[in-house]
Copies of this chain bind each other. A is one copy, B any other.
Amino acid sequence: MKLWGGRFDKPSDALMQRYNASIGFDWRLYAADIQGSAAYARALARAGVLTADELAQMLDGLAQVRREFEQEKFEVAPADEDIHTAVERRLHECIGPLAGKLHTGRSRNDQVATDLRLFILDAAGQVEQDLATLQSALVDQAAAHLDLLMPGYTHLQQAQPVLWSHWIMSYFWMLARDVQRLIDWRRRAARSPLGAGALAGTPLPIDRAALATELGLADPCENSIDAVSDRDFVVEFLFCAALIQVHLSRLAEDLILFSSQEFGYVTLDQAYATGSSLMPQKINPDALELARGKTGRLVGHLTGLLTTLKGLPLAYNKDLQEDKEPLFDTLNTLALTLPVLTGVIRTLQVNGARMAAALDTATLATELADYLVGRGVPFRSSHAIAGQAVRLAAEQGGSLRTLPLSALKTLHPAFEEDFRAVLDFKRAVEARRAQGGTATAAVQAQIDQARAWLADPG
């Protein structure tokens, strides 16, 4: 059964049928499609198109089709070009010609737009949940190791000592923004195109607002032409997903570096690593590399859909069928990446001793500059002097700590013997106790704030 064809003299070319068919991927929409059809049937009954008895039959039929999907008994027929055709065809087999009334005043254009919104809103719920789980793992890691010092980096050069917990909490807040973005997106996406017809609206007396509410959507779309041709809700979701993956790629990069022999700050649990077919010693951070590598995939999906949408005339064009596969693949990618990274974080072995040993005294040069500031030297001058001190120490093959006071005094007379006291990693960390800083108390406050956020995100 085709949903069209009266106008046609001849069948489609066989290759064209394959080119056109979307059932191979849009079967995923079956639950949304049946949910939408049931709601629409009720609206038809309210509009007087279906009798109460016809409505009951139709809902029974739809319920049966849904069960067949859920029990994996549904059989796709060769002519089922998409999930909407497949469901309607099967409904016809179940309840006879009455099925033909379901499409009254409805087009696949408003139907598919509705289905896809219902589907994506549901699917995004899982993403939000997986994000929260990963965030919890990050907070737990931060809370578990609040006493570990490590080098903080800029330009991948050691910059200043920070708490391990401070470092890992920075990822918490990236993901918090990701969740907020999804919350905002959801508000915009939860609109109902149903009743927009092919593009011009419906001639039936349908209460579109009531229909929207029944579908759990906030409001109907304001304009029927926009309703059937709008894919903003997909492309904005793809953006949110791509940015999530970019954040994860940064976390992955950091952990790949930290788990190298040269850094050695963390050891990945072997459950998330793999070996080499040639080199027996290898324990490779594949989970992290995949998380990093898949960023390209999600950026590509976003770019691709934006490119597809560019310059499309109104209203619906078949080009829009290209919205689904990038969406489905994006969801698949997040559905694995987020839990896998949660596992990585939960099982991560943190090597505090390696971190401590790696700390370079030169990361305390800022403390030395601040020391001079405390003795009245403007910061810009004290910065230059501290830089010369680092250079001097390097030339002498030692560190700031081993420089004799006399040498420092040649750089500036304000140096006194007590300068050594500021050359202390822990002290440097604890000095940064303003909100958001790396001092233990500030990080503890951050952890508390994060736990409160998890209890009530947004």
Contact = CB atoms under 8 A, between A and B. Distances in A.
B373 A19 contact: no
Nearest to A359: B261
Interface string A1-44: 01111111111110110111000000000000000000000000
A90 interface: no
B279 A365 contact: yes
A277 B365 contact: no
Contacts of A348: none
Nearest to A260: B156
Main secondary structure of the interface of A (DSSP, over half): helix
B4 A277 contact: yes
A275 B5 contact: yes
A336 B19 contact: yes
| 4 tightest A-B CB contacts, nearest first | A201-B437, A6-B387, A300-B304, A4-B275
Interface in A196-218: 196-209
A262 interface: yes
Contacts of A224: 166, 432, 436-438
Given A287-B20, A387-B4, A203 B432 contact: yes
A195 to B, nearest CB: 6
A177 B7 contact: no
Interface stretch (A65-73, A119-127, A248-256): A248-256
Contact of A432 (B16, B201, B271, B431): B201
Count this chain's copies in the assembly.
4
Contacts of A365: 279-281
Interface string A349-365: 00000000010101101
A289 interface: yes
Interface in A288-320: 289-290, 292-320
A162 interface: yes
A280 B381 contact: no
A386 B280 contact: yes
A19 to B, nearest CB: 5
A269 to B, nearest CB: 8
Contacts of A415: none
A75 B456 CA distance: 49
A104 interface: yes
B314 A304 contact: no
Contacts of A225: 152, 162, 166-167, 170, 438
Contact of A308 (B152, B162, B283, B293): B293
A305 B310 contact: no
